[in-house]
Amino acid sequence: MTLFPKTTKDWTRSLATALFGGSVLVWLVVLWCLSGFTDHRIWRYAGPSIGGLLLPSLGLSLGFVSLVGRAALGKGFLKAAMIAALVSVVLGFLLSPALAE
């Protein structure tokens, strides 16, 4: 992957990869938070923004890019991206109260 993509397929792949990486990174932070290694006072204020806004936004964006640009993406990455998008949207809303506690 080059620094500046030249074709539409390259742009789609780089955008989908960045959104997928962002979703996975945010999920790792959420799991780290819920495992008890952090002070819950911080997440009382950050939880609703992460669970109610950031994760669903990343999930919807990843799902949209994956559906629109499915011809440019590999089958394995497309399946992983759609699963990550669905999990981010659904569980993002469900985890919002748990992150706020």
- Read off the pLDDT of residues 37-63 as tens digits, 9 standing for 90 and up: 767 677 777 777 887 889 999 999 999
- Read off the pLDDT of residues 25-40 as tens digits, 9 standing for 90 and up: 998 888 887 777 767 6
Which residues make Cβ contacts (< 8 Å) with residue 23, sequence separation at least 6?
55, 58, 59, 62, 84, 85, 88
CA distance 51 to 34: 12
Boundaries of every domain in the chain: 12-100
